[in-house]
Structure 1
Amino acid sequence: MKDDFLTLKNANHGYDLWITGHSLGAAMASLAATTIATNKLFPANKIKLVTFGQPRVGDVSYANLVDSIIPHSYRIIHQNDVVPSSPPEWLFGYHHHKSEIWFNNDMTSGQKYIECDEDESQKCSDGAFNMDMIEHLWYYNVLANFATDGCQGWNIHK
Protein backbone atom coordinates (compact mmCIF):
# COMPACT_ATOMS: atom_id res chain seq x y z
CA MET A 1 0.00 0.00 0.00
CA LYS A 2 2.87 2.36 0.83
CA ASP A 3 4.43 1.81 -2.60
CA ASP A 4 1.11 2.49 -4.34
CA PHE A 5 0.66 5.64 -2.26
CA LEU A 6 4.14 6.91 -3.13
CA THR A 7 3.60 6.15 -6.84
CA LEU A 8 0.40 8.21 -6.85
CA LYS A 9 2.03 11.00 -4.84
CA ASN A 10 4.97 11.21 -7.25
CA ALA A 11 2.66 11.21 -10.29
CA ASN A 12 0.52 14.05 -8.90
CA HIS A 13 2.81 16.81 -7.68
CA GLY A 14 1.16 19.83 -6.13
CA TYR A 15 -2.03 18.05 -5.07
CA ASP A 16 -3.45 18.04 -1.56
CA LEU A 17 -4.07 14.68 0.07
CA TRP A 18 -7.66 14.20 1.26
CA ILE A 19 -8.15 11.38 3.75
CA THR A 20 -11.70 10.60 4.83
CA GLY A 21 -13.88 7.86 6.26
CA HIS A 22 -17.04 7.08 8.19
CA SER A 23 -17.22 5.29 11.55
CA LEU A 24 -14.42 2.68 11.74
CA GLY A 25 -13.20 4.07 8.40
CA ALA A 26 -12.96 7.48 10.09
CA ALA A 27 -10.80 6.03 12.85
CA MET A 28 -8.60 4.40 10.22
CA ALA A 29 -8.43 7.71 8.29
CA SER A 30 -7.20 9.48 11.43
CA LEU A 31 -4.51 6.84 11.98
CA ALA A 32 -3.50 6.89 8.29
CA ALA A 33 -3.21 10.69 8.14
CA THR A 34 -1.15 10.74 11.33
CA THR A 35 1.12 7.92 10.12
CA ILE A 36 1.66 9.60 6.75
CA ALA A 37 2.44 12.94 8.40
CA THR A 38 4.76 11.61 11.13
CA ASN A 39 6.69 9.48 8.63
CA LYS A 40 6.98 12.52 6.33
CA LEU A 41 5.49 10.64 3.39
CA PHE A 42 3.51 13.75 2.46
CA PRO A 43 3.70 17.37 3.66
CA ALA A 44 1.45 17.55 6.73
CA ASN A 45 0.21 21.02 5.77
CA LYS A 46 -1.20 19.53 2.55
CA ILE A 47 -3.12 16.72 4.30
CA LYS A 48 -6.87 17.30 4.63
CA LEU A 49 -8.40 14.95 7.22
CA VAL A 50 -12.22 14.99 7.22
CA THR A 51 -14.11 12.24 9.05
CA PHE A 52 -17.76 11.41 9.65
CA GLY A 53 -19.02 9.77 12.86
CA GLN A 54 -15.50 9.07 14.09
CA PRO A 55 -15.10 7.20 17.37
CA ARG A 56 -12.34 8.22 19.76
CA VAL A 57 -9.07 6.79 18.43
CA GLY A 58 -6.33 7.48 20.96
CA ASP A 59 -5.45 9.13 24.23
CA VAL A 60 -4.56 12.76 25.02
CA SER A 61 -1.01 12.38 23.69
CA TYR A 62 -2.35 11.04 20.37
CA ALA A 63 -4.86 13.92 20.18
CA ASN A 64 -2.08 16.42 20.89
CA LEU A 65 0.06 14.87 18.14
CA VAL A 66 -2.74 15.11 15.56
CA ASP A 67 -3.51 18.67 16.67
CA SER A 68 0.14 19.68 16.27
CA ILE A 69 0.92 18.16 12.88
CA ILE A 70 -2.33 18.17 10.83
CA PRO A 71 -3.71 21.70 10.63
CA HIS A 72 -6.72 20.73 8.47
CA SER A 73 -8.51 18.13 10.59
CA TYR A 74 -12.29 18.04 10.99
CA ARG A 75 -14.55 15.47 12.63
CA ILE A 76 -18.11 15.92 11.35
CA ILE A 77 -20.79 14.72 13.77
CA HIS A 78 -24.50 14.30 13.06
CA GLN A 79 -26.69 15.40 15.97
CA ASN A 80 -26.96 12.53 18.50
CA ASP A 81 -24.71 10.01 16.73
CA VAL A 82 -23.67 7.51 19.43
CA VAL A 83 -20.39 6.38 17.84
CA PRO A 84 -18.36 9.58 18.43
CA SER A 85 -19.10 9.11 22.15
CA SER A 86 -17.35 5.76 22.15
CA PRO A 87 -15.26 4.54 23.67
CA PRO A 88 -16.12 6.79 26.61
CA GLU A 89 -13.41 9.19 27.80
CA TRP A 90 -13.15 7.44 31.17
CA LEU A 91 -12.21 4.13 29.50
CA PHE A 92 -8.40 3.98 29.19
CA GLY A 93 -8.20 7.75 28.62
CA TYR A 94 -9.65 7.83 25.10
CA HIS A 95 -9.76 11.40 23.77
CA HIS A 96 -10.77 13.11 20.49
CA HIS A 97 -8.45 15.31 18.46
CA LYS A 98 -9.80 18.59 17.10
CA SER A 99 -11.74 20.11 15.37
CA GLU A 100 -15.40 19.11 15.54
CA ILE A 101 -18.13 20.25 13.17
CA TRP A 102 -21.46 19.43 14.87
CA PHE A 103 -24.76 19.47 13.05
CA ASN A 104 -27.40 19.49 15.80
CA ASN A 105 -30.09 19.05 13.13
CA ASP A 106 -30.99 16.80 10.20
CA MET A 107 -28.04 18.01 8.04
CA THR A 108 -30.22 19.02 5.11
CA SER A 109 -28.90 21.67 2.76
CA GLY A 110 -28.51 25.06 4.43
CA GLN A 111 -28.64 23.78 8.02
CA LYS A 112 -26.37 25.50 10.53
CA TYR A 113 -23.52 23.83 12.37
CA ILE A 114 -21.25 24.60 15.30
CA GLU A 115 -17.46 24.44 14.98
CA CYS A 116 -15.53 23.55 18.12
CA ASP A 117 -11.78 24.00 17.74
CA GLU A 118 -11.04 21.92 20.82
CA ASP A 119 -10.37 18.24 21.31
CA GLU A 120 -13.38 17.63 23.55
CA SER A 121 -15.95 20.41 23.88
CA GLN A 122 -19.19 20.64 25.82
CA LYS A 123 -20.30 23.22 23.22
CA CYS A 124 -20.54 20.50 20.56
CA SER A 125 -21.61 16.85 20.63
CA ASP A 126 -19.90 16.13 23.99
CA GLY A 127 -22.50 18.40 25.56
CA ALA A 128 -25.36 16.32 24.14
CA PHE A 129 -26.64 12.93 25.18
CA ASN A 130 -25.55 10.84 22.18
CA MET A 131 -27.55 7.65 21.88
CA ASP A 132 -28.84 7.36 18.32
CA MET A 133 -27.55 4.68 15.98
CA ILE A 134 -29.86 5.83 13.17
CA GLU A 135 -28.15 9.23 13.01
CA HIS A 136 -24.83 7.40 12.72
CA LEU A 137 -26.03 5.85 9.49
CA TRP A 138 -27.21 9.10 7.84
CA TYR A 139 -24.87 11.96 6.98
CA TYR A 140 -26.09 14.75 4.67
CA ASN A 141 -29.16 12.62 3.86
CA VAL A 142 -27.02 9.82 2.45
CA LEU A 143 -27.26 6.37 3.99
CA ALA A 144 -23.77 5.30 5.10
CA ASN A 145 -24.03 1.87 3.52
CA PHE A 146 -25.12 3.18 0.11
CA ALA A 147 -22.01 1.62 -1.47
CA THR A 148 -23.41 -1.85 -0.82
CA ASP A 149 -26.28 -0.89 -3.12
CA GLY A 150 -23.94 0.14 -5.95
CA CYS A 151 -23.85 3.84 -4.93
CA GLN A 152 -27.25 4.48 -6.48
CA GLY A 153 -28.32 8.10 -6.16
CA TRP A 154 -24.89 9.26 -4.98
CA ASN A 155 -25.25 12.59 -6.74
CA ILE A 156 -28.55 14.19 -5.81
CA HIS A 157 -27.81 17.13 -8.13
CA LYS A 158 -27.99 15.13 -11.37
Structure 2
Amino acid sequence: MGGRNWLILGILACLIAFSSARELKVREDNKLAVYNHTLGTILVEYASAVYLSDLTELFTWTCPRCDGLTAGFEVIDLVVDVQHCLQAFVGVARDPNAIVIAFRGTQEHSIQNWIEDLFWKQLDLNYPGMPDAMVHHGFYFAYHNTTLRPAILNAVKQAKEIYGDIDIMATGHSMGGAMAAFCGLDLTVNHEAKNVQVMTFGQPRIGNAAFASYYRQLVPNTIRVTNDHDIVPHLPPYYSYFPQKTYHHFPREVWLYNIGLESLVYEVEKICDKSGEDPTCSRSVTGNSISDHLVYYGVELMCETWRSCRIVSDPLVAEYGKTDLQGNLILSKDPATPILKMKTQSSEGSNHI
Protein backbone atom coordinates (compact mmCIF):
# COMPACT_ATOMS: atom_id res chain seq x y z
CA MET A 1 0.00 0.00 0.00
CA GLY A 2 2.85 2.34 0.89
CA GLY A 3 4.52 1.72 -2.46
CA ARG A 4 1.29 2.49 -4.29
CA ASN A 5 0.94 5.82 -2.46
CA TRP A 6 4.48 6.77 -3.46
CA LEU A 7 3.64 5.93 -7.08
CA ILE A 8 0.53 8.14 -6.99
CA LEU A 9 2.51 11.01 -5.46
CA GLY A 10 5.16 10.61 -8.15
CA ILE A 11 2.56 10.79 -10.94
CA LEU A 12 0.97 13.89 -9.36
CA ALA A 13 4.37 15.57 -9.11
CA CYS A 14 4.99 14.94 -12.80
CA LEU A 15 1.58 16.31 -13.72
CA ILE A 16 2.18 19.43 -11.66
CA ALA A 17 5.60 20.00 -13.23
CA PHE A 18 4.13 19.51 -16.70
CA SER A 19 1.25 21.88 -15.96
CA SER A 20 3.63 24.53 -14.67
CA ALA A 21 5.79 24.33 -17.79
CA ARG A 22 2.76 24.65 -20.06
CA GLU A 23 1.32 27.51 -18.07
CA LEU A 24 4.34 29.73 -18.45
CA LYS A 25 4.42 29.38 -22.23
CA VAL A 26 2.22 32.01 -23.82
CA ARG A 27 2.49 31.69 -27.60
CA GLU A 28 4.72 34.27 -29.23
CA ASP A 29 3.76 33.96 -32.90
CA ASN A 30 3.63 37.66 -33.73
CA LYS A 31 4.97 41.01 -32.63
CA LEU A 32 3.76 42.87 -29.59
CA ALA A 33 2.80 46.51 -29.31
CA VAL A 34 5.53 49.12 -29.10
CA TYR A 35 5.07 51.23 -26.00
CA ASN A 36 4.53 54.94 -26.59
CA HIS A 37 4.83 57.12 -23.49
CA THR A 38 3.01 60.07 -25.05
CA LEU A 39 0.06 57.88 -26.03
CA GLY A 40 -0.06 56.56 -22.47
CA THR A 41 -0.29 60.06 -21.01
CA ILE A 42 -3.12 60.89 -23.43
CA LEU A 43 -5.20 57.75 -22.90
CA VAL A 44 -4.90 57.91 -19.12
CA GLU A 45 -6.76 61.24 -19.27
CA TYR A 46 -9.66 59.57 -21.08
CA ALA A 47 -9.61 56.77 -18.50
CA SER A 48 -9.82 59.44 -15.80
CA ALA A 49 -12.58 61.52 -17.41
CA VAL A 50 -14.97 58.57 -17.77
CA TYR A 51 -15.21 58.38 -13.96
CA LEU A 52 -17.07 61.70 -13.77
CA SER A 53 -20.78 61.60 -12.96
CA ASP A 54 -21.83 64.90 -14.61
CA LEU A 55 -23.13 63.62 -17.94
CA THR A 56 -23.64 67.09 -19.42
CA GLU A 57 -20.00 68.03 -18.87
CA LEU A 58 -18.85 64.68 -20.27
CA PHE A 59 -21.16 64.73 -23.27
CA THR A 60 -20.12 68.27 -24.22
CA TRP A 61 -16.51 67.58 -23.18
CA THR A 62 -16.39 70.59 -20.87
CA CYS A 63 -15.57 68.77 -17.63
CA PRO A 64 -12.55 69.68 -15.46
CA ARG A 65 -10.78 66.54 -16.72
CA CYS A 66 -11.73 67.18 -20.37
CA ASP A 67 -8.87 69.50 -21.23
CA GLY A 68 -5.13 69.32 -21.68
CA LEU A 69 -4.08 66.44 -23.92
CA THR A 70 -7.70 65.53 -24.72
CA ALA A 71 -8.91 68.99 -25.76
CA GLY A 72 -11.18 68.95 -28.80
CA PHE A 73 -12.46 65.42 -28.26
CA GLU A 74 -15.94 64.86 -29.72
CA VAL A 75 -18.21 62.44 -27.87
CA ILE A 76 -20.53 60.34 -30.03
CA ASP A 77 -22.12 58.10 -27.40
CA LEU A 78 -22.14 58.26 -23.61
CA VAL A 79 -23.62 55.13 -22.03
CA VAL A 80 -24.66 54.58 -18.42
CA ASP A 81 -25.84 51.14 -17.33
CA VAL A 82 -27.51 52.10 -14.07
CA GLN A 83 -28.43 48.51 -13.24
CA HIS A 84 -24.79 47.44 -13.02
CA CYS A 85 -23.22 50.83 -12.26
CA LEU A 86 -21.21 50.88 -15.50
CA GLN A 87 -20.27 53.82 -17.71
CA ALA A 88 -18.43 54.29 -21.01
CA PHE A 89 -18.10 56.74 -23.88
CA VAL A 90 -17.10 56.62 -27.54
CA GLY A 91 -15.78 59.57 -29.49
CA VAL A 92 -13.24 60.85 -31.98
CA ALA A 93 -9.91 62.38 -30.96
CA ARG A 94 -7.83 64.81 -32.99
CA ASP A 95 -4.54 63.61 -31.49
CA PRO A 96 -4.17 60.75 -31.92
CA ASN A 97 -6.44 60.63 -34.96
CA ALA A 98 -8.57 57.79 -33.64
CA ILE A 99 -11.87 56.57 -32.27
CA VAL A 100 -11.46 56.36 -28.49
CA ILE A 101 -13.54 54.06 -26.29
CA ALA A 102 -13.19 54.53 -22.53
CA PHE A 103 -14.68 52.38 -19.75
CA ARG A 104 -15.10 53.42 -16.13
CA GLY A 105 -13.65 51.29 -13.38
CA THR A 106 -15.56 50.13 -10.35
CA GLN A 107 -17.65 52.70 -8.48
CA GLU A 108 -18.44 51.20 -5.12
CA HIS A 109 -19.02 52.40 -1.57
CA SER A 110 -15.52 51.11 -0.87
CA ILE A 111 -12.93 50.13 -3.47
CA GLN A 112 -11.30 48.01 -0.77
CA ASN A 113 -14.38 45.76 -0.69
CA TRP A 114 -14.15 45.28 -4.46
CA ILE A 115 -10.45 44.44 -4.21
CA GLU A 116 -11.15 41.90 -1.48
CA ASP A 117 -13.74 40.26 -3.72
CA LEU A 118 -11.11 39.84 -6.46
CA PHE A 119 -9.23 37.35 -4.27
CA TRP A 120 -12.09 34.87 -4.72
CA LYS A 121 -12.83 35.26 -8.42
CA GLN A 122 -12.94 31.88 -10.17
CA LEU A 123 -12.44 30.93 -13.81
CA ASP A 124 -15.97 29.76 -14.57
CA LEU A 125 -16.76 30.58 -18.21
CA ASN A 126 -15.43 29.04 -21.43
CA TYR A 127 -14.73 31.89 -23.82
CA PRO A 128 -16.80 31.26 -27.00
CA GLY A 129 -14.83 29.88 -29.94
CA MET A 130 -11.56 29.46 -28.03
CA PRO A 131 -10.83 25.87 -26.93
CA ASP A 132 -9.50 25.66 -23.35
CA ALA A 133 -9.78 29.44 -22.88
CA MET A 134 -11.52 30.38 -19.66
CA VAL A 135 -12.46 33.75 -18.14
CA HIS A 136 -14.45 35.00 -15.20
CA HIS A 137 -18.09 35.48 -16.13
CA GLY A 138 -18.39 38.75 -14.15
CA PHE A 139 -15.73 40.51 -16.22
CA TYR A 140 -17.13 39.01 -19.43
CA PHE A 141 -20.72 39.86 -18.50
CA ALA A 142 -19.91 43.52 -17.72
CA TYR A 143 -19.03 44.10 -21.37
CA HIS A 144 -21.03 41.50 -23.31
CA ASN A 145 -24.36 41.38 -21.47
CA THR A 146 -25.13 44.97 -20.49
CA THR A 147 -26.27 48.15 -22.23
CA LEU A 148 -22.66 49.05 -23.06
CA ARG A 149 -21.81 46.70 -25.92
CA PRO A 150 -24.60 47.48 -28.44
CA ALA A 151 -24.26 51.23 -27.90
CA ILE A 152 -20.47 51.11 -28.31
CA LEU A 153 -20.60 48.99 -31.47
CA ASN A 154 -23.18 51.29 -33.01
CA ALA A 155 -21.11 54.40 -32.19
CA VAL A 156 -17.96 52.86 -33.69
CA LYS A 157 -19.89 52.00 -36.87
CA GLN A 158 -21.21 55.55 -37.13
CA ALA A 159 -17.77 57.07 -36.58
CA LYS A 160 -16.19 54.89 -39.26
CA GLU A 161 -18.85 55.89 -41.76
CA ILE A 162 -17.88 59.54 -41.27
CA TYR A 163 -14.15 59.41 -40.53
CA GLY A 164 -13.13 56.33 -42.50
CA ASP A 165 -10.90 53.48 -41.39
CA ILE A 166 -9.08 55.30 -38.59
CA ASP A 167 -7.57 53.56 -35.56
CA ILE A 168 -9.72 52.37 -32.67
CA MET A 169 -8.28 52.74 -29.18
CA ALA A 170 -9.95 51.12 -26.17
CA THR A 171 -8.89 52.14 -22.69
CA GLY A 172 -9.95 51.91 -19.09
CA HIS A 173 -8.72 51.66 -15.52
CA SER A 174 -9.20 48.77 -13.11
CA MET A 175 -12.46 46.98 -13.97
CA GLY A 176 -12.71 49.39 -16.91
CA GLY A 177 -9.45 47.92 -18.21
CA ALA A 178 -10.96 44.44 -18.18
CA MET A 179 -13.94 45.69 -20.21
CA ALA A 180 -11.63 47.53 -22.63
CA ALA A 181 -9.75 44.27 -23.25
CA PHE A 182 -12.96 42.36 -24.00
CA CYS A 183 -14.07 45.21 -26.26
CA GLY A 184 -10.82 45.15 -28.25
CA LEU A 185 -11.15 41.39 -28.69
CA ASP A 186 -14.81 41.67 -29.70
CA LEU A 187 -14.09 44.33 -32.33
CA THR A 188 -11.28 42.24 -33.79
CA VAL A 189 -12.94 38.82 -33.79
CA ASN A 190 -16.62 39.59 -34.34
CA HIS A 191 -16.48 42.84 -36.30
CA GLU A 192 -13.28 42.35 -38.33
CA ALA A 193 -11.63 45.56 -37.17
CA LYS A 194 -8.00 45.57 -38.32
CA ASN A 195 -6.64 48.56 -36.45
CA VAL A 196 -7.56 48.04 -32.81
CA GLN A 197 -5.27 49.17 -29.99
CA VAL A 198 -5.87 48.54 -26.29
CA MET A 199 -4.14 50.30 -23.40
CA THR A 200 -5.29 49.68 -19.85
CA PHE A 201 -4.22 50.95 -16.43
CA GLY A 202 -4.19 48.82 -13.27
CA GLN A 203 -6.15 46.04 -14.96
CA PRO A 204 -6.89 42.78 -13.08
CA ARG A 205 -6.30 39.37 -14.64
CA ILE A 206 -9.32 38.24 -16.64
CA GLY A 207 -8.55 34.77 -18.03
CA ASN A 208 -6.24 31.76 -18.04
CA ALA A 209 -3.06 31.07 -20.03
CA ALA A 210 -4.98 29.68 -23.01
CA PHE A 211 -7.07 32.85 -23.15
CA ALA A 212 -3.91 34.98 -22.85
CA SER A 213 -2.37 33.14 -25.82
CA TYR A 214 -5.42 33.67 -28.01
CA TYR A 215 -5.68 37.29 -26.94
CA ARG A 216 -2.01 37.96 -27.69
CA GLN A 217 -2.38 36.63 -31.23
CA LEU A 218 -5.65 38.40 -31.98
CA VAL A 219 -5.02 41.79 -30.34
CA PRO A 220 -1.22 42.12 -30.34
CA ASN A 221 -1.33 45.91 -30.15
CA THR A 222 -2.13 45.85 -26.43
CA ILE A 223 -0.35 47.49 -23.50
CA ARG A 224 -1.17 46.90 -19.83
CA VAL A 225 0.32 49.66 -17.71
CA THR A 226 0.91 48.77 -14.06
CA ASN A 227 2.07 51.11 -11.32
CA ASP A 228 4.62 50.23 -8.65
CA HIS A 229 2.88 48.23 -5.86
CA ASP A 230 -0.66 48.56 -7.29
CA ILE A 231 -2.62 45.66 -5.79
CA VAL A 232 -5.16 45.10 -8.58
CA PRO A 233 -2.81 43.74 -11.31
CA HIS A 234 -1.90 41.01 -8.79
CA LEU A 235 -5.54 39.86 -8.71
CA PRO A 236 -7.20 37.44 -9.08
CA PRO A 237 -4.16 35.49 -7.82
CA TYR A 238 -1.68 33.88 -10.21
CA TYR A 239 -0.43 30.37 -9.49
CA SER A 240 2.22 28.51 -11.46
CA TYR A 241 0.30 25.21 -11.45
CA PHE A 242 -2.82 23.84 -13.16
CA PRO A 243 -3.06 26.18 -16.20
CA GLN A 244 -6.81 25.76 -16.68
CA LYS A 245 -7.57 26.85 -13.13
CA THR A 246 -5.34 29.86 -12.63
CA TYR A 247 -5.50 33.38 -14.01
CA HIS A 248 -2.75 34.61 -16.33
CA HIS A 249 -2.12 38.12 -17.69
CA PHE A 250 -1.73 38.65 -21.41
CA PRO A 251 1.22 40.75 -22.65
CA ARG A 252 2.54 43.35 -22.94
CA GLU A 253 3.05 44.91 -19.53
CA VAL A 254 4.75 48.25 -18.94
CA TRP A 255 5.64 48.66 -15.28
CA LEU A 256 5.99 52.15 -13.78
CA TYR A 257 8.05 52.33 -10.59
CA ASN A 258 10.16 54.80 -8.67
CA ILE A 259 13.84 54.60 -7.89
CA GLY A 260 15.97 57.10 -6.06
CA LEU A 261 17.83 58.10 -2.98
CA GLU A 262 16.51 60.60 -0.43
CA SER A 263 15.06 63.59 -2.35
CA LEU A 264 16.09 62.36 -5.81
CA VAL A 265 13.31 60.13 -7.14
CA TYR A 266 12.87 59.05 -10.74
CA GLU A 267 9.99 57.20 -12.36
CA VAL A 268 11.14 54.30 -14.50
CA GLU A 269 9.05 52.77 -17.28
CA LYS A 270 10.08 49.17 -17.78
CA ILE A 271 9.03 47.30 -20.94
CA CYS A 272 8.31 43.75 -19.79
CA ASP A 273 8.77 40.44 -21.62
CA LYS A 274 6.28 38.59 -23.82
CA SER A 275 5.02 36.16 -21.20
CA GLY A 276 2.42 38.42 -19.58
CA GLU A 277 3.76 37.34 -16.20
CA ASP A 278 7.29 38.78 -16.26
CA PRO A 279 8.79 38.02 -12.81
CA THR A 280 11.02 41.11 -13.07
CA CYS A 281 8.12 43.56 -13.49
CA SER A 282 5.17 44.16 -11.15
CA ARG A 283 5.36 40.54 -9.97
CA SER A 284 8.77 41.33 -8.49
CA VAL A 285 7.11 43.36 -5.72
CA THR A 286 4.27 42.84 -3.31
CA GLY A 287 0.97 44.13 -4.61
CA ASN A 288 -0.26 45.83 -1.47
CA SER A 289 -1.09 49.43 -2.41
CA ILE A 290 -4.48 50.94 -3.14
CA SER A 291 -2.98 54.42 -3.49
CA ASP A 292 -0.73 53.18 -6.32
CA HIS A 293 -3.89 51.91 -8.00
CA LEU A 294 -5.58 55.30 -8.03
CA VAL A 295 -2.90 57.47 -9.68
CA TYR A 296 -1.12 56.75 -13.00
CA TYR A 297 1.24 59.23 -14.67
CA GLY A 298 0.18 61.68 -11.97
CA VAL A 299 -3.47 61.50 -13.09
CA GLU A 300 -6.22 60.54 -10.62
CA LEU A 301 -8.30 57.55 -11.66
CA MET A 302 -11.31 57.54 -9.40
CA CYS A 303 -14.74 59.04 -8.85
CA GLU A 304 -15.05 62.43 -7.21
CA THR A 305 -16.29 60.60 -4.12
CA TRP A 306 -16.75 56.90 -3.41
CA ARG A 307 -20.45 56.17 -3.23
CA SER A 308 -23.19 54.17 -4.86
CA CYS A 309 -23.83 54.64 -8.58
CA ARG A 310 -24.83 58.25 -9.25
CA ILE A 311 -25.16 60.44 -12.32
CA VAL A 312 -26.04 64.10 -12.82
CA SER A 313 -27.68 65.27 -16.02
CA ASP A 314 -28.95 68.57 -17.35
CA PRO A 315 -32.28 69.18 -19.14
CA LEU A 316 -30.30 70.59 -22.09
CA VAL A 317 -29.01 67.12 -22.99
CA ALA A 318 -32.38 65.38 -22.65
CA GLU A 319 -33.09 65.62 -26.38
CA TYR A 320 -29.91 63.59 -27.06
CA GLY A 321 -30.81 60.82 -24.64
CA LYS A 322 -32.94 57.72 -24.51
CA THR A 323 -33.70 55.59 -21.47
CA ASP A 324 -34.85 51.96 -21.38
CA LEU A 325 -37.28 50.40 -18.92
CA GLN A 326 -34.47 49.64 -16.47
CA GLY A 327 -33.35 53.28 -16.38
CA ASN A 328 -30.19 52.73 -18.43
CA LEU A 329 -29.27 55.86 -20.39
CA ILE A 330 -27.60 56.52 -23.74
CA LEU A 331 -26.70 60.04 -24.89
CA SER A 332 -25.97 60.03 -28.60
CA LYS A 333 -25.16 62.54 -31.32
CA ASP A 334 -24.38 62.47 -35.02
CA PRO A 335 -20.57 62.25 -35.38
CA ALA A 336 -20.78 64.55 -38.41
CA THR A 337 -22.13 67.35 -36.22
CA PRO A 338 -19.58 69.73 -34.63
CA ILE A 339 -19.07 69.26 -30.91
CA LEU A 340 -21.95 70.60 -28.88
CA LYS A 341 -21.53 73.80 -26.93
CA MET A 342 -24.02 73.84 -24.12
CA LYS A 343 -24.26 75.87 -20.99
CA THR A 344 -24.60 73.78 -17.93
CA GLN A 345 -27.54 75.00 -15.92
CA SER A 346 -27.36 75.43 -12.20
CA SER A 347 -27.83 72.43 -9.96
CA GLU A 348 -31.47 73.53 -9.49
CA GLY A 349 -32.23 72.39 -13.02
CA SER A 350 -30.29 69.14 -12.81
CA ASN A 351 -31.62 65.61 -12.50
CA HIS A 352 -29.93 63.22 -10.07
CA ILE A 353 -30.11 59.48 -10.38
What TM-score do the two structures reach when normalised by structure 1? 0.83
Contact 1:54 1:84 in 2 (8 A): yes
1:56 to 205, 227, 233: 205
Partner of residue 132, structure 1: 289
* Distance in 2 of aligned mates of 1:111 and 1:87: 26
* Distance in 2 of aligned mates of 1:6 and 1:65: 25
Partner of residue 68, structure 1: 217
Q: Partner amino acid for 1:53?
A: G
| Bigger radius of gyration among the two | 2
Partner of residue 4, structure 1: 155
* Deviations, residues 72-102 of structure 1 (Å, cap 9, x unaligned): 1100011000000000013931110000000
1:143 aligned onto 2:300:
yes
1:38 aligned onto 2:189:
yes
1:103 to 250, 253, 256: 256
Give the match's secondary structure for 1:148: coil
2:280 to 108, 116, 123: 123
* Distance in 1 of aligned mates of 2:267 and 2:165: 33
Give the match's secondary structure for 1:74: strand
Q: Partner amino acid for 1:49?
A: V
Deviation of 1:66 after TM superposition, in Å, equals 1.3
Deviation of 1:117 after TM superposition, in Å, equals 3.0
Structure 2: gaps of 5 or more residues: 1-150, 260-265, 306-353
1:28 aligned onto 2:185:
no
* Distance in 2 of aligned mates of 1:47 and 1:117: 21
* Distance in 2 of aligned mates of 1:30 and 1:126: 20
Q: Partner amino acid for 1:124?
A: C
* Distance in 1 of aligned mates of 2:187 and 2:290: 31
What TM-score do the two structures reach when normalised by structure 2? 0.39
Structure 1: gaps of 5 or more residues: 150-158
Deviation of 1:21 after TM superposition, in Å, equals 0.3
Partner of residue 247, structure 2: 94
Deviation of 1:42 after TM superposition, in Å, equals 1.2
Identity %: 29
Contact 1:21 1:27 in 2 (8 A): yes
Contact 1:78 1:105 in 2 (8 A): no
Q: Partner amino acid for 1:102?
A: W
Q: Partner amino acid for 2:207?
A: G
* Distance in 1 of aligned mates of 2:304 and 2:197: 26
Deviation of 1:8 after TM superposition, in Å, equals 1.5
* Distance in 2 of aligned mates of 1:41 and 1:9: 13
**Number of residues paired by the alignment?**
143
* Distance in 1 of aligned mates of 2:202 and 2:171: 11
